[in-house]
């Protein structure tokens, strides 16, 4: 009852044509087999045809069938106890993969070495490609000169571009069964995933200010301060535009 009161805005928002599951307010009725009592745009109510299509794919697409089953078995087996690296290893093993690729950031060479050493001990063949492969100039791929050499926060970043395209093409050539992202930049990870022929998983998500733990910003004092400054600036810019 209280929940429905608290969510009157969402309940009345019937015009939304896209799903907003994040507003289900911790109830998430689907976890107990029901559509939302709070949201009118619950995808279980408004997109039954999509839910039907998804169910069909679990039955007809061999990759989806196998990877979904394996992922759930890995989750249940190591729940809370296994680090993500062990989940990755067990997923790959149960999928029958033997050749793994690593697309890593040059700043994570030590991490990449350690990961490869562990994977090899589990019997995998590991191919790896560093993000700076090809030594392509940033300006040659359309990066304006002012965004090369030094970051806007004053750190040396150099003139050679990250090269997620070559990383993907080289791992495609090596015919890897699955590729692992180790600290690629936001955007470069997307390009890599788009071009990789093998399925891709992320082991380390780069976050330079949060020691590669992007979730750390969400409930920390630092995160609150950071976004509060950002929002103030956004508001100020909006006001300026109105004047
Ligand atoms: S699918 Fe429906 S019930 Fe589940 S979280 Fe989304 S809105 Fe809520």
DSSP 71-111: HHHHHHHHTTTS-HHHHHHHHHHHHT--EEEEEE-GGGHHH
In DSSP terms, 158 is beta-bridged to 149
Tens-binned pLDDT, residue by residue, of the chain (243 aa): 334 444 445 454 667 889 999 999 878 899 999 999 999 999 999 999 999 999 999 999 999 999 999 999 999 999 999 999 999 999 999 999 999 999 999 999 999 999 999 999 999 999 999 999 999 999 999 999 999 999 999 999 999 999 999 999 999 999 999 999 999 999 999 999 999 999 999 999 999 999 999 999 999 999 999 999 999 999 999 988 887
CA–CA dist 13, 30 (Å, integer): 20
Ligand 1 centroid vs 208 CA: distance in angstroms? 33
The CA 31 to ligand 1 mean position distance, Å, reads 8
| The pLDDT of residue 3 | 41
> What distance in Å separates the CA atoms of residue 87 and residue 194, rounded to the nearest whole number?
23
Record the pTM.
0.91
- Å from CA of 39 to ligand 1 middle: 8
- Closest atom of ligand 1 to CA, residue 24: 8
Calculate how far, in angstroms, residue 9's C-alpha sits from the geometric centre of ligand 1: 16
d(CA 200, ligand 1 centre) in Å? 27
pLDDT at 15: 74
pLDDT of residue 4: 43
Ligand 1, pocket residues at CB < 6 Å: 21, 24, 28-30, 35-36, 39, 42-44
Are residues 208 and 201 in contact, defined by beta-carbon separation less than 8 angstroms? no
Answer whether 42's CB lies under 8 Å from 36's CB. yes
Domains in the chain, ordered, with CATH?
2-49 (no CATH), 61-96 (no CATH), 98-206 (3.40.50)
Q: Tell the residue nearest (CA) to atom 6 of ligand 1.
A: 21
Cα of 19 to ligand 1 centre, how many Å? 8
Name the residue of 16, 30, 51 whose CB sits within 8 Å of the most ligand 1 atoms, as the mutation to test its pocket: 30
Q: Which pLDDT belongs to residue 28?
A: 86
* Closest residue to atom 4 of ligand 1, CA basis: 30
Probe target for ligand 1 pocket from 39, 50, 51, with the most ligand atoms within 8 Å of CB: 39
């Amino acid at each position: 009852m209280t929940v429905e009161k608290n969510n009157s805005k969402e309940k009345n928002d019937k015009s939304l044509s896209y799903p907003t599951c994040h507003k289900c307010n911790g109830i998430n009725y689907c976890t107990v087999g029901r559509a939302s009592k709070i949201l009118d745009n619950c995808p279980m109510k408004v997109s039954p045809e999509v839910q039907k299509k998804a169910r069909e794919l679990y039955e007809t697409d061999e990759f989806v069938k196998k990877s979904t089953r394996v992922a759930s078995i890995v989750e249940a087996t190591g729940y809370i106890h296994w680090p993500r690296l062990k989940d990755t290893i067990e997923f790959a093993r149960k999928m029958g993969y033997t050749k793994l690729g690593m697309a890593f950031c040059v700043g994570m060479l030590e991490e990449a070495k350690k990961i490869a050493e562990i994977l090899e001990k589990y019997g995998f063949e590991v191919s790896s490609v560093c993000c700076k492969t090809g030594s392509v100039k940033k300006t040659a791929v359309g990066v304006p000169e002012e965004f090369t050499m030094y970051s806007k926060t004053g750190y040396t970043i150099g003139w050679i571009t990250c090269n997620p395209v070559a990383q993907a093409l080289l791992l495609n050539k090596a015919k890897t069964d699955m590729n692992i992202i180790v600290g690629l930049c936001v955007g470069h990870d997307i390009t890599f995933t788009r071009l990789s022929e093998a399925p891709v998983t992320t082991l380390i998500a780069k976050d330079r200010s949060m020691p590669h733990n992007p979730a750390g910003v969400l409930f920390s004092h630092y995160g609150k301060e950071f976004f509060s400054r950002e929002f103030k600036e956004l508001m100020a810019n909006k006001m300026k535009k109105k004047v």
